[in-house]
Amino acid sequence: MPTEAVYFITISLIVIGTLIYFNAYLSTKRRILRALQKHPFSRIGLLEEGAYAKVKGTVDAITTPLQSPIGQQSCVYYEIIIEQKRSNGKTSHWDTIIREQEFAPFMITANGEKVIVDPAISNDQKRVFLTKHISYTSGTWKKAPDFLEAYLAKHAQKSTTFFGINKTLRYREGSLQIGEQIAVMGLVTHKEGTLLTDRYHKHSVYISGDDKHMLHITDDPKALQTTQPTK
């Protein structure tokens, strides 16, 4: 094999390997897990005003729960990602054509103690990774079912091309379901109001995020493991 060809192949493999590494390193899931690993879990009942803390517990709705559009799951937070496979000669890639997130006010409970999670902040102030419990595909020999076609239509999309050929699509949905165990890390605040988390105090405990304190939310099982701060 000519030296130039060997050199080209070597450089190509290095570039591909680097892209794979940085994609994994910068993925939302890995960024959340790395951030959570740096902090120990705190007891909800001992959360202090202004602390940046990590907690875990069971999801509980404050108001009427949501119903996820695809899986029809009772939940407080859902995310749907629909991607289309596009080909260009010998290569192909997946383009996101729909990404939808919706949440309702919720709290997490552990050992009878409660904290309200407030995700109603800018996307730049939070990172959320939900395990995709629901997944479907449609393509050349597999027509999208009617309920997925209806969901696509709500977002001005179709599962077929102008000529009626099935597009290659994959549909994924994740949700925070009632009773599910999750991990949350964010900025702790105490607020007066009607949503009391402790009947012995007139304030409630909230956990959220701001420009300096990123809110992290995930139901990934690895995030629930007990960890100590990394040195």
Residue 72: which of 183, 150, 8, 155 has the closest Cα? Answer: 150
In 3D, which of 1, 49, 56 has the Cα closest to residue 218?
56
pLDDT value of residue 23: 46
Give me the mean pLDDT over the 162-176 stretch.
94
pLDDT at 192: 78
pLDDT digits (tens, 9 = 90+) for 20-47: 433 433 488 999 999 999 999 999 999 9
Q: How confident is the model at residue 227, as a pLDDT?
A: 57
Q: Report the amino acid identity of residue 62.
A: I
Q: What pTM was computed for the model? A: 0.79
Average pLDDT over residues 201-206: 80
pLDDT tens digits for range 102-157:
998 899 999 999 999 999 999 999 999 999 889 999 999 999 999 999 999 999 99
Q: What is the dihedral of CA 100, 102, 107, 108, to 10 degrees?
A: -20
Report residue 18's pLDDT band, with 50, 70 and 90 as the boundaries. very low
Nearest of 84, 82, 123, 133 to residue 103 by alpha carbon: 123
Cα dihedral 148, 153, 154, 155, rounded to 10, equals: 100
Domains in the chain: boundaries = 3-224
Distance CA 159, CA 146 (A): 10
Mean pLDDT score across all residues of the chain: 85
How long is the chain? 231
The four Cα atoms 30, 31, 36, 37 give a dihedral, to 10 degrees, of: 60
